[in-house]
Every structure is written in C-alpha cells, then in structure tokens.
Amino acid sequence: MSEMRFTKDHEWIRVDGAEGTVGITDYAQHALGDVVFVELPAAGREVAQGAEAAVVESVKAASEVYAPVSGTVTAANAALQETPALVNESPEGDGWFFRLRLADAGQLAVLMDRAAYDEFVKTLE
C-alpha cells in the first residue's frame, strides 16, 4: 500500500516500497494558475531533501519544485512536456513530476500526512 506525505512547500510524495512519485499539491497548482511549462530532472540525477529538483512555469510565475526526500531520479513524467496542463487537471494523479529511489526512508518522518497538510493549508487561507 502506498502512503502520501506532504511538504510545507506544497510538494507531495507517494511512497510505494523504496520508490516515491513526486508532484505538487492541488493548493499549489491553484496558486500558480495555468501551467505552461515544466522542467523535469533527468533519470539518474541525485536530489537532496529540500533542494530544487524541477521547475514549473505558469502564466503567473515560475516556481521551483523541491525534493521532499533525498534520492535518485528513476523517471520523469514525459507527458508533462507535451501537456503541462496535466499539472492543473490532475495535480495528485497524472500530473506527477518525477519518480525517485529513496536514499533514506527515515526522511519521510519530517513530512506531513494528509490530515496535517490539510490543517496547514487552512492556516494559509
């Protein structure tokens, strides 16, 4: 069974075994507006927890996407190159950014679960 965890920067990671799928939350895509371009990391790239891993550009602004945990990128979502609007249409589904092999599953402990993230978002409204 996979578990989802969230950062205060509005990234999510869905963990399944030793691999995680990363994207941005619905809250983040709403704040950005219409996504027009996504720069994704290449497979094999090492990313550190909290470091920039990707870039998302909207009609409003460009924003960094940070790695929720450290690891090695195993795949990028090629569909976003053709259809960046998937980020708006399905931010926690088909609009995922990249997958990575976790370097340290213990890093997940500092991330929020869905309930904690939902409470965090309420403080921003």
User: Which pLDDT tens digit goes with each residue over 111-122?
Assistant: 999 999 999 999
Residue-wise pLDDT tens digits, 4-32: 999 999 999 999 999 999 999 999 999 99
Average pLDDT over residues 84-112: 97
Q: Is the pLDDT of residue 75 over 90?
A: yes
Distance CA 9, CA 95 (A): 17
- At residue 1, the pLDDT reads 52
- At residue 3, the pLDDT reads 86
Distance CA 84, CA 63 (A): 14
Q: In whole angstroms, how far apart are CA 31 and each of 10, 23, 51?
A: 10, 15, 21
Number of domains in the chain: 1
Better-predicted residue by pLDDT, 110 or 2: 110
- At residue 110, the pLDDT reads 96
Which token pair is 50?
Answer: 């909290």
CATH number at residue 86: 2.40.50.100
Which range marks the domain in which residue 109 is found? 3-122
